[in-house]
A = this chain, B = another copy of it.
Amino acid sequence: MVTVRDVAAAAGVSISTVSRALSAPGMVAAGTRDRVAAIAEQLGYQPNRAAASLRAGRKGALGLLVPDLANPYFAAVAKGVAERAREHGLGVFVVDSDEDPAAEVDLLRHLVHQTDGVILASPRAIDADVDVIGPRPVVVVNQDGPLAVVTDTDGGMRLALEHLRGLGHRRIAYVGGPASSWSDARRRGALREAAATGADVVALGHYPPTVAGGAAAAVAVAESGATAAITFNDVVAVGLVRAVRERGLRVPEDLSVVGWDDTYLAALASPPLTSVGSDLREVGRSATDLLVARLGGAPGAREVTVLPGTLSVRDSTGPAPR
């Protein structure tokens, strides 16, 4: 293993100069710096992260806790985190709680210990668990917290409603997700606001965020008298479409359906789903940026990044019947 000593000997300088040349280039004369860098490169020197961590107190890695990596939503966020972290020279420890909230606290405790800070992408995580985290910065995604990245639910809901109203729909149903979901609560809030301005909207649920959940909502949607439905997420939309078709109705001719999250699933579904979304990868990137900005610095103030909502119009929405 090549160490700073080897590089120092080969370059004819001290080990501190090597260390500085590589990690604080501004403190070293340009000539020395380049020579050291060249020799380090040539020798194949790779700094030992464990040693650097131990000495500097930084771990050089951040943690990402997700409920389910196989969920396209979290996978996309994870990609954004991984991408940006790499640009910052940080590793990413990924932990999957397998949708088990009880395990999350424990996982988080361990994660915190091997990272400089964590990103919690879990919708129903951790409240009182700030104590688990200690002084380390934590960024939450679509959740309340001092450091947070959220997508613009109100804007997204507005886009969806405007789109449907433009197609002539008057009564619109929302197929809600789990009661514990922060996002779901936000969307219901947006719906109430819309209702206050005279819109004819009805919130259904709570339904599980699955195909079965969407299918289970079909009856309620039909009975609601709505000609269009906005669902908690794309998977629920798929379930709703399927169940509605089994009842002999067509999408979008008899019922328009708007998914949420705009995962790649929306494009693959039949029919391809109109879906409210936001750039998921950007969510991951923003969360990482927020975390990195806090890593070296002071505790600092509350900081929330709001990412715009988008509407991808595909084939699951059409003119209102009759």
A contacts, CB < 8 Å to B? 46, 48-51, 53-54, 59-61, 68-72, 75-76, 78-79, 82-83, 86, 91-96, 98, 107, 113-114, 211, 235, 238, 241-242, 264-265, 267-270
Contact = CB atoms under 8 A, between A and B. Distances in A.
A-B pairs, top 10 by smallest CB distance, nearest first, are A270-B270, A50-B53, A50-B54, A70-B75, A94-B94, A82-B96, A46-B113, A50-B50, A75-B75, A91-B93
Contact of A72 (B51, B59, B70, B95): B70
Contact of A265 (B61, B113, B268): B268
Nearest to A48: B54
A53 B55 CA distance: 13
Interface SS of A by simple majority:
helix
A158 to B, nearest CB: 27
Copies of this chain present? 2
A78 to B, nearest CB: 5
Given A49-B113, A59-B50, A211 B70 contact: no
A96 B93 CA distance: 12
Given A50-B53, A268-B235, A75 B79 contact: no
Contact of A98 (B83, B93, B95, B113): B83
A114 B83 contact: no
Nearest to A70: B75
B95 A93 contact: no
Given A49-B50, A235-B268, A242-B270, 16 more contacts: A49-B113, A50-B51, A50-B53, A60-B114, A69-B79, A69-B82, A70-B75, A72-B75, A82-B95, A83-B96, A92-B93, A211-B268, A238-B268, A269-B269, A269-B270, A270-B270
A107 B89 CA distance: 11
Contacts of A113: 46, 49
A84 to B, nearest CB: 11
Contact of A51 (B54, B86, B94, B235): B54
A221 to B, nearest CB: 18
Nearest to A93: B91
A208 to B, nearest CB: 15
Nearest to A271: B270
Nearest to A235: B268
A60 B54 CA distance: 14
B76 A70 contact: yes
A68 B76 CA distance: 9
Which among A51, A69, A75, A98 has the greatest number of chain B C-beta atoms within 10 A?
Answer: A69
Nearest to A54: B50
A78 B50 contact: no
Given A70-B79, A83-B96, A211 B51 contact: no
